[in-house]
């Protein structure tokens, strides 16, 4: 018996001695150039942001890159040179023209980086804009350890998009502004006007040939979904929904940009399951011409852009749906509230308010 215990003890010691903390090797990729370029037909949406990568464990602020020469070079045409407005931010004073082709050049110390040549697409358009009822299974946390599956009625906002030889790929940024009011004395006057903004920022909203259901039209492209239950958005049932203002930035883009952002979406969609897409390195279209060993991260693209706005209100799946286009574009703060005061119990609604 004592001999058996001795062997058991030796086996346990051998097992314990084989355990050690795994320290994965993390490559140091600090100092590589990162290019965030947004070039459109609108000068207020034109900028190139230059930074550098930092090491995985670094706790320092992302280093901005100043002192670079940034140029937009037209094929067979002039060169537009950017001006550095703040550290690492470069702005152009002229916008690219639809149908012309351009490349981005960045000269930094002794190195020159260039993108591939991209053609500026024409202005995007929407053939139709409408809403449809959808039923989705969503998971909510009801206080337990496991999220609960709930079937919800939602209203989906959709668009039909024209497809031409010059423009067949789109990207969208969507901001949804929920207007609400509060009455201290119901039925007399509003004591407060408030609003919250929501953005569809978990993934890029893209539309391209893979989505086409007709040869000349992308039909029923979803832009966002809205719950019929306003308490999904409002913190109190004493607040009354006044509908939504939808601000939609529509970008006409290239096939290369579409594929690049699709790859990013596949990485963002990873949830840690065995069915996730395999994580791969996603390279852009900017290369270092003077030193092939140096990597520049980012993607250069030209985007024709238009903004459209709609007022949208809904009551129930069988109730009245209001959807109308807005033709004024005032600046609307992201979130806010306007309250009544003792001297002025009836508060005026914001000038941009819709109902």
- Summarize pLDDT for 103-137 with one digit per residue, the tens: 999 999 999 999 999 999 999 999 999 999 999 88
Question: What is the C-alpha separation between 134 and 211, in angstroms, rounded?
Answer: 18
Is 132 in the same domain as 241? Answer: yes
So what's the pLDDT on residue 275?
Answer: 46
Residue 230 lies in a domain: yes
Contact 100, 120 (CB under 8 A): yes
So what's the pLDDT on residue 169?
Answer: 95
So what's the pLDDT on residue 9?
Answer: 53
Range of the domain at 177: 128-252+305-339
This prediction has a pTM of: 0.83
- Collect the ranges in the chain with pLDDT lower than 50: 5, 22, 26, 274-276
Is 101 in the same domain as 166? Answer: no
Is 63 in the same domain as 106? Answer: yes
Is 230 in the same domain as 155? Answer: yes
Is 178 in the same domain as 43? Answer: no
So what's the pLDDT on residue 301?
Answer: 93
Question: What is the C-alpha separation between 287 and 283, in angstroms, rounded?
Answer: 10
Phi and psi torsions of 268, nearest 5°:
-65, -30
Q: How many domains does the chain have?
A: 2
The CA-based diameter of the chain, rounded to the nearest angstrom, is: 93
Q: Got the DSSP string for 277-289?
A: PPP-----SEEES
Closest CA to 111 of 33, 47, 29, 36: 33
Is 106 in the same domain as 209? Answer: no
3-state DSSP call for residue 311?
A: strand
Report the chain's mean pLDDT, rounded to a whole number.
Answer: 85
So what's the pLDDT on residue 90?
Answer: 97
Is 80 in the same domain as 218? Answer: no
Terminal alpha carbon distance of the chain? 87
Q: Is 148 exposed, middle or buried (0-12, 13-18, 19+ CB in 10 A)?
A: exposed
Per-residue model confidence as pLDDT tens digits over 37-96: 989 999 988 999 999 987 655 666 778 999 999 999 999 999 999 999 999 999 999 999
Structure tokens at 240: 């009354």
So what's the pLDDT on residue 211?
Answer: 64
**Number of Cβ atoms within 10 Å of the Cβ of 107:** 16
Mode of pairing for the β-strands spanning 240-253 and 302-314: antiparallel
Residue 344 lies in a domain: no
**Number of Cβ atoms within 10 Å of the Cβ of 38:** 16
Beta bridge partners of 180: 194, 241
Residue tagged 């308010």 (tokens): 353
Is 59 in the same domain as 103? Answer: yes
Contact 183, 272 (CB under 8 A): no
Residue 4 lies in a domain: no
Is 112 in the same domain as 132? Answer: no
CA distances (Å), 55 to each of 30, 83, 294, in order?
5, 29, 16
**Number of Cβ atoms within 10 Å of the Cβ of 75:** 11
Contact 195, 335 (CB under 8 A): yes
Is 92 in the same domain as 153? Answer: no
Is 317 in the same domain as 173? Answer: yes
Reported in sequence order, the residue ranges of 55-147 that DSSP labels E, i.e. its strands, are 69-74, 79-81, 83-86, 89-91, 101-108, 111-115, 118-119, 128-140
């Amino acid at each position: 018996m004592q001999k058996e215990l001795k062997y058991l003890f030796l086996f346990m010691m051998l097992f314990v001695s084989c355990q050690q903390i795994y320290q994965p090797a993390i490559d140091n990729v600090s100092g590589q150039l990162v290019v965030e370029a947004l070039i459109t037909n609108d000068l207020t949406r034109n900028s190139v942001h230059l930074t550098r990568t930092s090491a995985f464990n670094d706790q320092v602020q992302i280093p901005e890159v100043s002192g670079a020469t940034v140029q937009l070079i037209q094929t067979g045409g002039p060169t537009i040179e950017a001006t550095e407005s703040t550290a690492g931010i470069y702005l152009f004073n002229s916008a690219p023209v639809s149908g012309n082709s351009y490349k981005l050049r960045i000269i930094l110390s002794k190195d020159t980086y260039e993108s591939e040549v991209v053609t500026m697409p024409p202005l995007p358009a929407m053939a139709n804009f409408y809403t449809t009822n959808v039923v989705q299974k969503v998971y909510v946390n009801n206080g337990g350890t496991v999220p609960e599956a709930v079937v919800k009625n939602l209203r989906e906002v959709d668009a039909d998009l024209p497809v031409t030889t010059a423009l067949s790929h789109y990207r969208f940024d969507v901001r949804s502004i929920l207007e609400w009011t509060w009455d201290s004395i119901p039925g007399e006057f509003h004591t407060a006007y408030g609003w919250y903004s929501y953005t569809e920022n978990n993934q890029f909203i893209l539309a391209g040939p893979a989505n086409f259901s007709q040869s000349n039209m992308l039909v029923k492209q979803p832009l966002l979904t809205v719950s019929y239950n306003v308490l999904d958005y409002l913190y109190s049932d004493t607040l009354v929904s006044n509908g939504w203002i939808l601000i939609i930035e529509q970008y006409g883009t290239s096939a290369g940009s579409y594929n690049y952002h699709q790859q990013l979406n596949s990485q963002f969609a990873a949830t840690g399951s065995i069915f996730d897409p395999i994580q791969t390195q996603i390279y852009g279209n900017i290369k270092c011409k003077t030193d092939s060993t140096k990597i520049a991260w980012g993607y250069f693209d030209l985007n024709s852009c238009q903004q459209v706005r709609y007022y949208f209100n809904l009551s129930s799946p069988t109730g009245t749906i209001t959807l109308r286009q807005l033709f004024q574009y005032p600046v609307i703060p992201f979130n806010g509230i306007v309250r009544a005061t003792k001297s002025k119990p009836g508060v005026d609604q914001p000038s941009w308010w819709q109902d």
